[in-house]
Structure 1
Amino acid sequence: MPGHLFSEFSPSSKDAWEKLAQKELKGKWRELPSWTISPGLTFEPYLTRQETDSERIAEMQQSQKKNPGWLNMPDITFTDPRKTNAAIKNALANGADAIFLNLRDTELNRCEFPKLLHSLRLSDTPVFFQTDKNSGQLFSEISKHAGYYLKGGVAFDPLAHWMRTGTRYESSINAISELVHHTKSMREFRPYMIETHLYHNNGADPVQELAFAIAATATYMDLLTENGVAPLLAFNRALFSVSVGTRYLTEIAKLRAFRYLLQRISRAYELPDELCVPFLQARTSSFYHTRTSTYTNMIRASSEAMSAVIGGCNALTVQAYDLDSANRGDFSDRIARNVSSVLSFESSLGIVADPAAGSYLLEDMSCKLADAAWKSFLDIEEKGGLIQCFESGFIQNELQKSLAQKVSALHQGQVMVGVNRFHQPTERNDAGAKTLADVATHQFTLLNDRRLSDYFHQQSLSKK
């Protein structure tokens, strides 16, 4: 086979491509954008092979998911046992492969698990129970009629919960350790979660989001191994849950960089690469949802979902476009499920394990994002680690600065569809809007999940 597929065409230099772009784009050449991911990390709009590091690219590709496809995992909020059971069955009959069941504010004795899980086989269908209640009690309830092997897990991040509420995490670490030991033969049951949502929803840029998530991973590895959990169990039994935002190419690179960084953590514990199988759930962003122009959220989530699957998620949760509506019904849930189904059945993205591999720009972005995040992670470690950095206010201050930059960008002309452009006047609804003043600025201030559009609406009104 010849060295070049089309040997009759001579290779073109980057200068030649640039001259052609100038000719084709004419006066718009200067408008060709670059990507600024975080302070000091900017990418040009195109890249050539000569500008890439082939060894680094091979290393990045080696860390990626080996099996193609993903689970369509819709988010279902518990209401009452029978209605929720019906909603789960309906989702599974109409495209879902797994369920993310939100029990967050529900006492476990209200769930009536025999009714809630009636005719569901947890050995076949992964169900992740999102709750901050006793994980041991939860497992006891769901395993009574589920046989000896369960899939799914407990979607609870004690450190993130501590940062939100101030509730200490130590007792939860003990409960997770016991549950990991109890379920050690259940390779597809994950007793705890490591999330990026808290950082993402407070305005973190991708470098910060990755750095804080890796710092959380290192913290859990330390806490669990100190509690007697084997490092390989501690690593493989986590559900890594990642928010995916609107910057299409950046978010693809972010997920790929996350897998690479997780491999660096596992290697630090001298774990064999072939035995480490991190499970990544990607969730479309609520931070970029607007409470107005809700149909726009549907389009936004479709772009985010594409980033998630091209980036290599194991499970995809597409959030409903009317996420905050008290009248949310089956239509929005069905549309959210179908976004994943269309990508799976009609795009062919599910037949390749790493669809982004080979793109010079995406490979370079993945590598440099990972390097910047690792550098930031080491800075966090030098300051005492994630827990110390939160107690000192370092994390809150970093998030505040990043959020302020995002709000400022909207006021300086960056477009957010349905928020500062392309919305109907009647769609404006600023109830509950916030100001930047409530963002953490002092030591040990708790974090809250936020929406970017809320700050734009509030500041816009304040100028009138």
Structure 2
Amino acid sequence: MATTLFDDFNPLSSKQWKQKIQFELDGADYNETVIWNSPEDIQVKPFYHIDEFSKAALVETKAADFKICQNIFVYDVDKSIQRALNTLERGAESLRFTIQNEKTDIQKLLENLPLENRIVYFNLNFISIDFVKLLDSLSIQKKSVFYCNLDPIGYFAREGNWFTTSDKNNFDTIDLISKSTTNLSLLSVDLGLYQNAGATITQQIAYSLAHANEYLNRVPKIPKQIVFQISVGSNYFFEIAKLRALRMLFKLIAAEYNTDLECHLLATPTKRNKTIYDYNVNMLRTTTECMSAILGGADAVANLPYDSLYHKDNEFGDRIARNQLLILKHESYFDKVNNPADGSYYIESLTMQLAEKSLALFKDIESNGGFLKLLNDGTIKKKIQESAAKEQDLFDSKKEVLLGTNKYPNKEDKMKHDLELFPFVKIKPRKTLITPIIEKRLAEKLEQERLELE
């Protein structure tokens, strides 16, 4: 019988490893020296061992099938057509169109695009039965897979008001659309809003599940996958575990409705840690965030251009963002292995702990009346603000570092004359039903102070 190298070594238990570490610490406290607490109140240990696991997190992902997605904001149909053609020729595999109003000529937009067997996402900032029915017929005509990312709850959370419709409420409109379409995935959950506003990972998972649960409760027929639009942060292993925990818990919740409905994960790097000063560092941040998304099992990844905060859409920024994903797929072989996180005790542990904490928070939300009730009374916004304030304090005290901004800044860096877009929170006074949840970057205050001194 063949022997292996490891047969020459006696197995060591986790207890023996810990004793060895304590000896090497030479009297320093083990818990204070080598264990740290995350914002999710998870203790991160210096090592993980198989004897600490009774079961693994059963998460099936198809990382090898992830698609490179291109974001296109449709403000000019002709320009959007050219941009879509260009990006598909240069390596993009799917498209995500953001459409502001139903007057957009969607037939013209899609008519000459090579979309057969491609996935196309549509973020609609409105609800129109006729518009969605047209999308449904076009998806059949183009032999494409269309995801119509309707998210009235996300719109309500972000804007403070519901979509304007002729029906009693937005859920009735969604129900009518689901009955009159056959080929579309209709619903989406904007998890990115909570992340970019400062929610912890546990909150992001729990809120998005409670958000989705409102649809499961209120829309009688959901025939296709729900798209979770996720923002991925820089905490590399935690973000991998976040996607895995979300997929695992959604499957658990869907089973309670006697459905095998699955979630479809569309990931984008977060804006929260992006900066206008030393902006090239954003490319490094988005690279690791895209890696987390892929390894966590995202179905598609739409990268964020390094200059998207302050530049209008441009070919160079698009190309660099797309090439980052192309390198991960074709040069780093991220498309060769499914379930790549399997067998990592650390990621397995994080997945299970995040899932347990998120499920507990989800149950608490449901026991207190559900997500919409807590959104209406301001509880969700308040909890996110509390988490965001803690993270902001860490950034302001330089305990959370953004290189080039709150540590090792380039004092010669000038940005005042390069700003094509306003990169800070925009205040839009209007009458709303609730106070909206506001996305805000960590570096905004510091950047505004620097701009004033230029």
> TM-score, normalization: structure 1?
0.85
Partner of 1:366: 351
The aligned amino acid for 2:10 is: S
145 and 359 in structure 1: CA distance in 2 versus 1, 3 angstrom threshold: closer
Residue 110 of structure 2 corresponds to residue 117 of structure 1: yes
Match of 1:13 in 2: 13
5+ unaligned residues in a row in structure 1: which ranges?
Answer: none
Match of 1:175 in 2: 173
Helix, strand or coil for the counterpart of 1:174?
A: helix
State the 1:411 CA deviation: 2.4
1: CA distance, partners of 2:2 / 2:268: 44
Amino acid at match of 2:175: S
Match among 269, 277, 281 for residue 296 of structure 1: 281
| Structure 2 partner of 1:136 | 129
Q: How much is the aligned-residue C-alpha RMSD, in angstroms?
A: 3.2
- Please tell me whether residue 64 in structure 1 is matched to residue 60 in structure 2: yes
| Deviation readout 1:212-232 (Å, 9 max, x if unpaired) | 00101111100102xxx15xx
Residue of 260, 265, 278 corresponding to 2:253: 265
Structure 2 residue aligned with 1:53: 54
Q: Hey, what's the Cα distance between the residues in 1 that align with 2:324 and 2:364?
A: 39
Secondary structure of 1:452's counterpart equals coil
Retained in 2: the 8 A contact 1:135–1:154?
no
Q: How many percent identity over aligned positions?
A: 26
Change (3 A) 1:197 1:67: closer
Which of residues 235, 241, 251 is equivalent to 1:247?
235
- Local SS of the residue matching 1:215: helix
Label 1:444 to 1:133 Cα distance change in 2 as closer, same or farther (>3 A): closer
**One-letter code aligned to 2:444:** D
Q: How far does residue 386 in structure 1 lie from its aligned partner after superposition?
A: 0.5
Number of aligned residue pairs: give it. Answer: 436
The one-letter code matched in structure 2 to 1:119 is N
Answer whether contact 1:248 1:303 (CA < 8 A) is retained: yes
Q: CA deviation at 1:292?
A: 2.2
Change in CA separation of 1:102 and 1:383 when aligned onto 2, cut-off 3 Å: same
Please say if residues 63 and 294 of structure 2, whose CA atoms lie closer than 8 Å, have aligned partners that are also in contact: no
1:351 Cα deviation after fit = 1.9
Residue 209 of structure 1, aligned match among 204, 209, 224: 204
Question: Which of 72, 77, 101 is equivalent to 1:76?
Answer: 72
Partner of 1:445: 435
Please give the per-residue CA displacement for 1:346-400, whole angstroms capped at 9, x wherever unaligned.
2222222210111111101100100000101111111111011111111111111
How far 1:124 moved relative to its partner?
A: 2.2
**Partners in 2 of 1:9 and 1:358 — Cα distance?**
21
Residue 235 of structure 2 is aligned to residue 237 of structure 1: no
Task: Give the superposition deviation at 1:26.
Answer: 9.3
Paired with 1:95 and 1:298, the residues of 2 have a C-alpha distance of: 18
1:397 equivalenced with 2:382 (yes/no): yes
- Counterparts of 1:145 and 1:460, CA distance in 2: 49
In 2, Cα distance between equivalents of 1:28 and 1:296: 36
Moved more, 340-349 or 149-158: 149-158
What's 1:155 paired with?
Answer: 149
Deviation at 1:11, TM superposition (A): 1.5
Distance 2:375 2:138 in 1: 41
Post-superposition shift, 1:82? Answer: 1.5
Q: Residues 145 and 241 of structure 1: is their aligned pair in 2 closer, same or farther, counting only changes over 3 Å? A: closer
Q: Using the TM superposition, give the Cα deviation of residue 67 of structure 1 relative to its aligned residue in structure 2, in angstroms.
A: 6.8
> What are the ranges of 5 or more consecutive residues in structure 2 without an aligned counterpart?
none
Change (3 A) 1:328 1:147: closer
1:44 & 1:408 partners in 2: Cα distance? Answer: 24
Contact map agreement 2:62 2:299 (CA 8 A) in 1: no
Q: C-alpha offsets along residues 195-246 of structure 1, whole Å, 9 cap, x if unaligned? A: 2111111100000000100101111100102xxx15xx2xx43111111100
Q: How much has 1:448 moved relative to structure 2? A: 1.9
SS of alignment partner, residue 117 of structure 1: helix
- The Cα shift of 1:8 comes to 1.7
Q: How far apart are residue 19 of structure 1 and its match?
A: 6.7
Following superposition, the deviation at residue 21 of structure 1 comes to 6.0
